[in-house]
Amino acid sequence: MVQRISSCIMILLNVASMGAGWSFKSTPFRSLQKRRADVFCLRMLSQQLQDETSSDEQTTRRLKKIRCRARIAYDGSCFSGFQIQTRPSSKTQKKKQPRTVQGELERVLTQRFSGQRVRVLAAGRTDAGVHARGQAIHFDLPIASEIDMDQSEDVSLAVESFQMELPKIQRAVERMLPHDLAFWNLQIAPGPKIKILDGQKQQKAWSAMYDSTLKWYSYRLHTGPAMYPLQRHNRWHPNRVQHWFDAQEFERFVKKFQGTHDFRAFAGNMNRLEQQRREYLIEKNKESKDLSNNDVTGLDDEDLDVSELEDGNGNLVNTMRTVRLARLVKEPTEGEHCYRIDFFLEGALYKQVRNMVGAIVEVCRDGGRLTEEDFDNLLENPTRMRADNLSKPAPPQGLTLEQVYFEIGEEKHWALVETKTVGDPVASTVDSF
């Protein structure tokens, strides 16, 4: 009996926290949608009162979820990247978890929905110090309801009631998030789609990561003799840049990245994967050729070919990527010597954009580590590896994920080409989300 009463109280608290304005009495001034929401809540309460006991299976059956999506923006200066970083537990010393964007979002959403964990996934996992203006995320929000999925009226009523609560949920999340993380445009995600996977048709739910078709990254530079200290959090001032920077020459190398290339030499984690593959091939060929532990002289280049790399799950790593547009844009409103490099990509490897910018700086600056021949070889020769790229990745603070696009067609690509400044109305109207 106590358990039943407690459960009823929790339902009332959940409804009240969702701001549904629930009450036993309905006034003539209520809209039809509001009355439907009240009836829906009454049905939940009535069913809970009738159940003396509830098994785990019944509880799981009642817990329905609706996939939502939203836009977020954040100043990455105080974040250790987007993704939550797990650390091994220690009995002797408790280590504080690094602050991440995903961690802040999940903390707020979980608190908002009475402790039921809400997992957040993003279109791209930015590194520590990297910013975002138009990052896209998705998550499944719980709805404690007794609905029959075979009854269209029950399903439509639940979705309609949930749709009414979205503005209130968005306002609550906005207030609960820290000041360096913004949240807006909360909406129900599109329904599942039929996709061809491994030659078979499969129904897959909408995903911010896998349904994105284009990403806009920008990297900001200051090329003058001195940079304002307030710009240090979102702009890079390379050493002695005022002595060697030439806008036309710099843009010429930026344009070289346009098109489809093998960006293996510009990916951040390739060294580790190449070393793991090499060690695996050494052990494999030692056994087949009956070599001693320290004898690798009997192995030729074909035996140690690491052109095909595998990730931690044993899947081949594809390093081919397409850059739809690469350009250098002057930002006079930010300062006389402020520039922005834009990359519109269909997908990026780990630290790819920062490595691309770092390589451009090295080939352009006086006494750089790369010549133009080295640069072209890294981009066009598929046998080149990350170890062959002598440039260092550009610092993270200059990089911003400006926008993530969905279902963008070829005809809309030209609208992006004409976009000259961040926040241009053309960019904002290309995608409805």
Burial grade of 34 (CB within 10 A; 0-12, 13-18, 19 or more): middle
Residue 416 · residue 427 · CB < 8 Å: yes
- Shared-domain flag, residues 122 and 235: no
- Shared-domain flag, residues 205 and 217: no
Q: Does a structural domain hold residue 45?
A: no
Beta strands 181-188 and 120-122 are unpaired
Higher-scoring residue by pLDDT: 151, 31: 151
CATH (domain of 261): 3.30.70.660
User: In this predicted structure, what is the pLDDT of residue 282?
Assistant: 57
At residue 44, does pLDDT exceed 50? no
Dig out the tokens for 220 from the structure: 């900001």
- Shared-domain flag, residues 241 and 349: yes
- Shared-domain flag, residues 169 and 139: yes
How many residues make up the chain in this entry?
Answer: 433
Q: Does a structural domain hold residue 6?
A: no
User: In this predicted structure, what is the pLDDT of residue 102?
Assistant: 97
- Shared-domain flag, residues 198 and 252: no
CA distance 59 to 57: 5
CATH (domain of 108): 3.30.70.580
pLDDT digits (tens, 9 = 90+) for 74-83: 999 999 999 9
pTM: 0.75
Split at pLDDT 50, 70, 90, the class of 128 is very high
Q: Does a structural domain hold residue 187?
A: yes
User: In this predicted structure, what is the pLDDT of residue 161?
Assistant: 81
pLDDT digits (tens, 9 = 90+) for 132-167: 999 999 999 987 554 555 555 666 777 788 888 899
- Shared-domain flag, residues 148 and 237: no
- Shared-domain flag, residues 199 and 140: yes
- The residue range of the domain holding 192 is 63-88+96-210
- Shared-domain flag, residues 133 and 224: no
Higher-scoring residue by pLDDT: 307, 69: 69
Amino acid letter, residue 18: M
Instruction: Label each residue of the chain as H, E or C.
Output: CHHHHHHHHHHHHHHHHCCCCCCCCCCCCCCHHHHHHHHHHHHHHHHHHHCCCCCHHHHHHHEEEEEEEEEEEECHHHCCCCCCCCCCCCCCCCCCCCCCHHHHHHHHHHHHCCCCCCCEEECCCCCCCCEEEEEEEEEEEEEECCCCCCCHHHHHHHHHHHHHHHHHHHHHHHHHCCCCEEEEEEEECCCCEEEEECCEEEEECCCCCCCEEEEEEEEEEECCCCCCHHHCCCCECCCCHHHHCCHHHHHHHHHCCCEEEECHHHCCCHHHHHHHHHHHHHHHHHHHHCCCCCCCCCCCCCCCCCCCCECCCCCECCCEEEEEEEEEEECCCCCCCEEEEEEEECCCCCCHHHHHHHHHHHHHCCCCCCCHHHHHHHHHCCCCCHHHCCCCCCCHHHEEEEEEEECCCHHHHHHHHCCCCCCCHHHHHHCCC
At residue 19, does pLDDT exceed 60? no
Q: Does a structural domain hold residue 354?
A: yes
At residue 59, does pLDDT exceed 70? no
- Of the listed ranges 42-51, 109-118, 390-399, the least confidently predicted one is 42-51
Average of per-residue pLDDT across 110-114: 90
Q: Does a structural domain hold residue 308?
A: no
Split at pLDDT 50, 70, 90, the class of 16 is very low
- Of the listed ranges 53-57, 202-206, 307-311, 393-397, the least confidently predicted one is 53-57
User: In this predicted structure, what is the pLDDT of residue 61?
Assistant: 41
Average of per-residue pLDDT across 263-268: 88
- Shared-domain flag, residues 223 and 175: no
- Of the listed ranges 48-57, 63-72, 225-234, 423-432, the least confidently predicted one is 48-57
